[in-house]
Structures are given as structure tokens and as C-alpha cells.
Structure 1
């Protein structure tokens, strides 16, 4: 059965939709939809794919996404193994640009909100006190209805429109070039890499999985994700390494091989290229932030 890439959301009884997600794992399908989206992770860990950006996620991860940005919060493998102690919990709000009527955000008084919607087209990662403010608002929205719910959402968007603790997620110029008909092919590639990133991944095997030659697959993947396939695999591995580093259970050498790298020097080089820090520096910065 083919998995739909374009996700359809309907809320016939309300102008926008708030959903509290509590499952064994987050939706494993890579998808996009024509709605703006506010999402926060209350519980769960894994790898986050948004447009051409890949990061490890954990509780607290909070984002604002514009329409048609492909995304996926892929829970760690352990969440798919039936462990009753592991579960995911998140809150998401979906709304369209005209959810309060055609031209509402074009009015002079809505200028700052209009700028927020424009910024959201690249996706916004929300951090610090702004993250906590948005998370609390989403938790309130779960239990609000009618006018109070609309007012709470507008207040949250208004707050975000002037927040400085936000960073763009996708690259400058990123455009979603995916088609619904390509869903199954890209889903197979993503699934394969997530299952095998700790091992050697051979390009010919992945190309065969996508029913392409190696050269055609490399061109296809770069055109759709704005990065090479080898960069994609490296980002998955580095994201997993970041998770292990903050757990402080393993040495850098152990994390190197556990994440799928063959040499410590290559691991250190690629880690710094992607994060701007060495593995030990990354770990120290995280621990200071937590402390």
C-alpha cells in the first residue's frame, strides 16, 4: 500500500485544529500538508527531519512550520519494539492562512503576524524562554474551545512574532520539490537508512531500493533534499552521536563506532563540520546549559 506524502487535515467544526498525540511512537511517515503547524514534544526521543534539516530531538523540541514543508519526527528504534515503558507525547496545532477569514493577516494591524507567517515558510526552531512560553500555551489550548481558543492561539502567534529565541530550520532558498507519487521511493530510502546507519551503507543497495542507477539516484536525492546522500547519512549518524553524548554513558571512541563511523578522526571531523564543535565541546556546552 502506498503511503501518502501529502497529509490531509480537516476540522469541520473549528477554524483550526489542536491535537494531543499520545502513542507508542510518533507518525513514522514523512509528509507535508498545506497548513501552518506549531508542534512541541512533551515526551520521546528520535531524529527530526524538516525540509533539508536533520537533528536529534527530545522532550522540549518546539517548532513553527509553514505550509508544505516535508517533515518527520522519527522515534528511536526502541519505540517500535513494543516496550511499554516507552511512549511519545506531543501537542500540535494546525491552521491555514485564512482560518480567520480571507485577508485577515493582510490588515495593517496584523503586520507582525504576517511577517511571522513569511518566516515560517523556512520553519522556525524555538528555544529558551520562548520555547517554554509556547509549550505552556499549547498545553492550555488542548483544553480551550471557541473564542478562548482563538484568542490563545493569536496571543501565542503575536508573542512569537517578536521573539528573538528562534532560528530558521531549512536552508535559504529551500523549496519542497517532492511529489505525492514519490512518497514510496523516499520512504523506503529513509526507512533503510534509519535501520542501517550503524552499519556500512552501500550506495548500490540504496539505489536498487529506489529502482535507480547509482548516478541517477545521487542526482535525484540531491535535487530533492538539497544535500548529497552521503551528507544525509552522516547527519543521521551525528544526530545519534549527539544523543549518546548528552547521556554521558560512553566515551567518544565508543560513540564513534556505535554511530556507524569507522575511524575516530573521521567522526571528529564530520561532527565539527556539522555542529561547529568537537564531540567533547558539544557535551560540555550541553551540560552547562542543563546545569
Structure 2
């Protein structure tokens, strides 16, 4: 790929899906072989529903497995990507990833209006979205239906529906804030491509032991420089990041594949059950058995 094409891809990654000047917001369906795997950020707020597909989701410094029905709300300039499980695997259209995405700017409501007392909860919602929000429970089911209805509406009716969705999100307690309080986006254009390469390599090789030297070589850095670079841009150490990827994969195996705990441990790249159990509880606040039991009851 020549330099001009690379630069164009970088610009597209950083300025994804601009809203037409003639519209207040943009809503559309995504149906692709995989969701966009590029680590990117943009100035719009983004509301995203997964209709079909599984994989690993990165939002700021948060890493989590995604599945059908997941709904996230992310604020401006918060880096994110959805890396589908079937990336690199040939599949027919029935297996393609599918979702609904909404983009809008905060000023579509008006800065003066947001300062009014009636808008306090909405303003708080926007503030929380700067770290990314995961919606669950009955709220997720309700917003799922509203988003699908939004696709069918036009004109002012569509604006009212979007406002109803935001109002619903602003009132619920069924949410989890994703990126950590100390997370700050320090990425520049060149970093997005470099971090994409790093994430792609990790996702392909996380089941085996990955040496820092391998990724240092991939990014043309020394091991020490890479460790420092990675921690600055991901807000965590490389070893902690690998553990989160492995535990996310183990969660998927326990819930979707219904494998036993021992199989999930070794299939996710852990060498001992004791380390697996310790890391699992540290990341999910549950034991593997408790985690599987909790999801079996849903």
C-alpha cells in the first residue's frame, strides 16, 4: 500500500461517517463481513447496537467481548473499535456482522438549551459518554426496539424518536461506564495505524505467549520504548492488556460455547488454573463458576 493510500485510510479512520450538512443526525444499518476493525475516533457522539456478530470491543482502555444485543454510547474523540471473531474467515452473507449506528453532535440540541434545568440528566448522560457507556437489562431491550423504529422514521418524527432514546438513556441505572476515570485520548494520526497493527497481532496470537520483543520489533521500537508507549496509549501495562483479552475470550467460551472451566482456561492462553482463576476474578469480580451461573440465569 503506497503512502497516499495509507494517509487516506488514516483520515477516513479519524473522520468516520460525517453527518451530512443537511441533517441533524445520521442513522444507518451496518452489514459487513466484519465490523470496522480500525482503531479510530471522531467528533460525533455514537450510539451503536449489535444486531448480529460477536468479537472483541475496545473503547478507550476498556476491553470486552461483544455479542448480539449489546448497546453502547460513546462520546466525541473516544477511541474505539469492534473486532469481529470472524475477521479473516470467509463466510456467506448470513454470517455477516450487522448493527445499527447513530451519529450526532451535541449542538443538535443547542448549547443554551443544555444549560436549562430540564436538561440536567441529558447533560450528565453526555458527560458519562465521554468514557463510553454499556447499556444492559430492560433498558437495552427497550432502546433496541426504539433504534429499529428510528430507522423507519423520517423528518421531525425521527428527531423526536432520537430524543426519546436519549431521554430513556439519561434516566436509567442499567449502564456501566467503560473507560477508566484517568483515561485520556493521547492518540495522533500515526498512532492509530500503529495501534491497529499491535491489536491485530495480539488478537491473532493471544493464545500463545507473546514476548514484548515481538511487538517492539513490529513497531520499530526497543522493548523498553514499546512498553512505555503502550502504557501511555492504552492506560495499562501490556501484561494487563493481554490478560483482559484472554479473560474476555474465556467469558465467551463459558457463555456461548458452554465449555468447562478447565477448557476455557487453556484455550484462552493461560498455562495454569490458579493463574486463570486469579486473573478471572480480578477482571470480572467473579469466579469462573459464578460468572457462568449468573449468565445461565439470564
Unaligned runs of 5+ in 2: 1-5
Secondary structure of the residue aligned to 1:80 is coil
Match of 2:153 in 1: 144
* Aligned equivalent of 1:121, options 130, 134, 154: 130
Match of 2:88 in 1: 80
How far does residue 202 in structure 1 lie from its aligned partner after superposition?
1.2
Distance 1:279 1:122, change over 3 A: same
Match of 2:217 in 1: 208
Match of 2:118 in 1: 109
Question: Counterparts of 1:215 and 1:229 in 2: how far apart (Å)?
Answer: 11
* Aligned equivalent of 1:287, options 271, 274, 296: 296
Secondary structure of the residue aligned to 2:90 is coil
How far does residue 89 in structure 1 lie from its aligned partner after superposition?
0.9
Secondary structure of the residue aligned to 2:51 is strand
Q: Does residue 178 of the first structure (1) align with residue 184 of the second (2)?
A: no
Secondary structure of the residue aligned to 2:145 is helix
How far does residue 103 in structure 1 lie from its aligned partner after superposition?
3.1
Deviations along 1:45-83, whole A, 9 cap, x unmatched?
A: 00010001001110011111111110111100x343112
Match of 1:94 in 2: 103
What TM-score, normalized by structure 1, do the two folds share?
0.95
How far does residue 108 in structure 1 lie from its aligned partner after superposition?
3.4
Unaligned runs of 5+ in 1: none
* Aligned equivalent of 2:198, options 181, 189, 195: 189
Q: Does residue 17 of the first structure (1) align with residue 21 of the second (2)?
A: no
Question: Counterparts of 2:91 and 2:34 in 1: how far apart (Å)?
Answer: 11
Deviations along 1:9-67, whole A, 9 cap, x unmatched?
A: 13233110101111111011111101111111011000010001001110011111111
How far does residue 242 in structure 1 lie from its aligned partner after superposition?
0.4
What TM-score, normalized by structure 2, do the two folds share?
0.93
Secondary structure of the residue aligned to 1:92 is strand
Match of 1:70 in 2: 79
How far does residue 250 in structure 1 lie from its aligned partner after superposition?
2.3
> How many residues are treated as equivalent by the alignment?
288
How far does residue 94 in structure 1 lie from its aligned partner after superposition?
0.5
